[in-house]
Structure 1
Amino acid sequence: MKKFLKKLLIFALVFFVVDKLFYVLIYLSPHFQTDPRIEMMLNGKINKDIIVLGSSRGAMNIIASQIEKETGQSAYNIAFPGSDVEFHDFILKTLLKYNTKPKTIIFAIDEPSQFLPSTSITFRRDKLYPLVKYSYINQVLIDKGDRNFTSWFMCLSRLNKSNFKLIKKISPTETVQQCGSIPVDFVNPKFKPIYRNEVQPYDVNEELSSKRNAFFSIINQCKKNNINLVITFSPNFSTPSQHFEDRIKSLAPNSNFFIYDTTKSVYKNKSYFYDESHLNKKGAAIFTSEVSAFLNQMSKK
């Protein structure tokens, strides 16, 4: 029995030592991430007057550096392609926890998938894996069921297979500018430039309550911190849905709403789009100018 206990103790000590060697990967992982914005937030480095929040419609369609020039206020974009409203809620909470609160949040809405089940927009856990050295991030992953309590004392429990890929591989559609925005100056080869005139039906019954609750959380955080919330509708290469617009307005009755100029011919011109749901850099510059003009009007009021 004593021999067994001795062997067990030796095994435990060896395992403990070996496990701690993997801290090197935990430490190095942030240096190989392609998007530094979340770590910048964790280190209190995003302190701006205007913040852009959302998914790819915010990241690609709204150019923060242009907003700075056109409004005279500092701006930064923390919108993440492929992210859903639950991730946006997490991003805003993180921003407010570690940084000076902004004056204005521009929240880019995803039409029509804002509250619907989707595989294209999700909670971007992959953006958190390189940052597991931060206890705050580790706890978020635990809360999401992606880790368990052992990650508090075992390095291997904190690691994901992505932590072992110590090579930077940047996608053209996720190349972050200094202002945080990700405009693209090319066209998606899968884009079929046929403007869709028919309006797709919007079924409220398909909405997920978890996504609605995240939306309400964003509204409440802005209200609690006295932040101007501007809910923004971006152009799709199709006729906008009045039913979807009305639904968003009904859920946020006291918010500011910016709706692009639907009469502009550029928003029906394939030359200004990356694909059916996103503008290219040329289109984003036009759309951003409209957003800036709206912000300037708000400032006057």
Structure 2
Amino acid sequence: MDYLPVNRANWNARVPIHVGSDFYDVAGFKAGRNPLRPFELAEVGDVAGRRLAHLQCHFGLDTLSWARLGAEVTGLDFSDAAIAQARAIAAECGIPARFVTADVHDAVEALGRTYDIVYTGLGALVWLPDLTRWAETVAALLAPGGFLYLAEFHPFADIMDDATGTTVTYDYFDRGPHVWEEPHTYTGEGVLEHQTSVQFQHGLGEVVSAVAAAGLRVEFVHEHDRTYFQRFGTLVADGAEHRLPEGAPRIPLMYSLRASSDSGAPPAVDRATSSSAPTA
């Protein structure tokens, strides 16, 4: 299966559903709500006056939130429908931002500049088959002294049973590709016109190794015992966060990684092929 056009059709179909969903609450965003997670704000730090690229930005709410905090932002996504919505929301809110339609591995040519921060939000890496090329692209986008910040769902959680999150059910080392036929998105609203998607699983060691091999210095990898959706039936909501019940053994549900560019000469990127998909 040529997964890239399949995934693009799937994500283009998601856009109108997501824009109108309670999950994304676009009206709340327009009124000033910041959808960035508290740990992201703390770990990224002050972005005022810094150039930030958001890869796989979907329709840009996180991107525009960094702009509201003072960053000079560029969002990139392979979904033209998502980028059109991002531009429309930016214009309506009067937020200065640049949005570009391109595959993530074409980002160096598509964006044509380097950045102080490359940010990638939740649910991005599962759409990429080759993390080595992704990490090389990130390194090539970073200005000397800049850094990558990645927040992701923890791959360990994906091997546990969906009902309780207590029993190992799936193979941690099964990288895929995994083909899914799902009528609904994670927002639970609407029916997709294009229901097929292709996804790839990546272990934490694979992610860290790809980033290090691209010449970036890993500053930290933090594992978190909370997530932001009902990943398992037993999770307990605590505001926007979801955690395992009090007293239950905890497992990592999310992780965050920060890695810096200490060199002015990031590795060259082989762009013979390309592949990407967006995130929220």
- The TM-score range, normalised by the shorter chain, is 0.3 to 0.5
* Rg larger in structure: 1
Going by fraction, where is strand more abundant, 1 or 2?
A: 2
- The two structures have a TM-score, normalised by structure 1, of 0.31
**TM-score, with structure 2 as normaliser:** 0.33
